[in-house]
Amino acid sequence: GTFTCSFNDLTSLEHCPSEVGGNFWCSYDGLTSLEFWPSKVGDSFGCANNKLTSLKDIHRHIKKIGGDFLCHGNPIKSHILGLMFVEIDGNISTELGNGSDVDEILNKWKNQGRNGVMHCQRDLIDAGYRELAQL
């Protein structure tokens, strides 16, 4: 089923389930790390409005999201390229950049493996997002 832990001022997801069959909602908390996040979520994954500054190694923590990845409202400055190694069936929403330009690039190249990573990285750099284009 759905796992919800939003609006709890959490700073860690220690003891969080490693897999969630439905939606995973952990928004409006104080999370700064990807540690202990579930590796598989059956539907949407919401981590909006936390304190994440980087998604470094996100692909080492999350393997599959069956719906959308909603991570807007975080002060992310780097390392979103790892999202290209996460199987995401829905849309990616970070609201980074100017409007929706970063999300358009991410969604264009998701689920395409190394080829998608290379093209996504090039497009992010060309759009002026070198820090975001790090793996």
The CA–CA distances, whole Å, from 9 to 15, 44, 51 equal 16, 21, 11
For the segment 81-85, the average pLDDT, to the nearest whole number, is 95
- The pTM score is 0.95
Helix/strand/coil for 106: helix
118 bridge partner residues: none
Helix/strand/coil for 135: coil
Summarize pLDDT for 33-68 with one digit per residue, the tens. 999 999 999 999 999 999 999 999 999 999 999 999
CA distance 41 to 19: 6
Token code pair at residue 77: 């400055």
Sheet containing strand 64-65, strands side by side: 19-20, 40-41, 64-65, 87-88
Helix/strand/coil for 92: strand
Per-residue pLDDT at 135: 86
Widest CA span in the chain: 41
